[in-house]
Amino acid sequence: RSLATCLGSMRARALCRAPHRPPWLRAKSFSSLVMADERCPALLHVDSFTRVAFAGNPAAVCLLDAPADATWMGAVAANQNLSETAFMWPTGASEVEGLEGEPARGETFELRWFTPSVEVDLCGHATLAAAHALFSAPGGRESPLLRFGTRSGELVAALRGEGCIELEFPASPPRPLLDGVGPTRGEVALALGLPVDKVVVVGASDDLLVALPDAGAVAALAPDLHAVSRWPYRGLIVTAAGSGSEADFVSRFFGPAVGIPEDPVTGSAHCTLAPYWSGVLGKSTMLAQQLSQRGGELEVEVGGEEEEGASARVWIRGHAVTTLAGELLIPPPRTVPVVSRLC
């Protein structure tokens, strides 16, 4: 059969199944969405931390009705070949803190994140993409609050005005480097291709945080990714003060060790950046830009109960745009439920 004939047959079958709109647009509930065609889950591509399509950081979001096998999720993520793919399934409803600090009912979901090569403990832009997928579903949500059980504990997403979504994450301020652990300042400078006196190694959390003199140096950076991949960190955060009123600080993120040469916008890195820049600038709420080729914008706020002089929580706010919605035609094999740190 010719390619044209095959494509025509596929299109005819699709039209018979969805004469006007795909299942994502026809769905009236989460269960009907993920079960639109037997056990074929809905799959979306969402651009996070942007108000316009084809900017920010793209993530895939797979909406399941039950836990799925980790090997299958990893294979799906590798096939999407995006920096992150989020997988989530509903677990019920419970009481969470409302927008004004009062108890409120919120839907709960299990949430896991995979790069093309590994599962990760925390991902900001894929969490934003997952929350956006649920908040923008036809008919909306019963509550403006979502609660996610993850490998990093409980995360809460709140729908704010004008489509803005607020994520609450644990703060991860940079810690001083231990002697003999990680690269020296000279090795960092060599990997960045910069003079040693232009590089300040601030410290590390899961990522190594390095400060440069200005935003221009961050934008022009072309690091040796092979060298970076050998360091004992998830990735490298490079940052500088903002160059104008559009941002209090700027950054870029490189994660070759986890299969991400450069991440367009990294929400989780701001769990480290926000506490650092709050201390430097003396501000609790700041505007941030990530200077990747696609670019991205975030608002961050630090606060909560302080631990050892550092803020305990980071609130990250941003917008997202869905660019693709369809079905994954290879359903997952079933597995036993995964116990998260949802509490």
Residues tagged active-site: 84
Nearest to 126, CA basis, from 156, 74, 86: 86
Sequence-distant (6+) residues with CB within 8 A of 229 are 256, 257
Is there a contact between 249 and 286 (Cβ–Cβ < 8 Å)? yes
In Å, how far are 31, 137, 342 from 68, measured between CA atoms? Answer: 15, 22, 18
DSSP letter for each residue of 38-54: TTB-EEEEEEES-SSTT
* 254: nearest Cα among 273, 285, 233: 233
Q: How many CB atoms are located within 10 Å of the residue 329 CB?
A: 9
Do the beta carbons of residue 92 and residue 109 sit within 8 Å?
A: no
Euclidean distance between the first and the last CA atom of the chain, given in angstroms as a whole number: 55
- Rounded-to-integer distance, Cα 166 and Cα 152, Å: 17
- Give just the sign of the alpha carbon dihedral 269, 114, 335, 25: positive
Element housing 150 (H / E): strand 145-150
Record the tokens describing residue 196, joined without a space: 């040693």
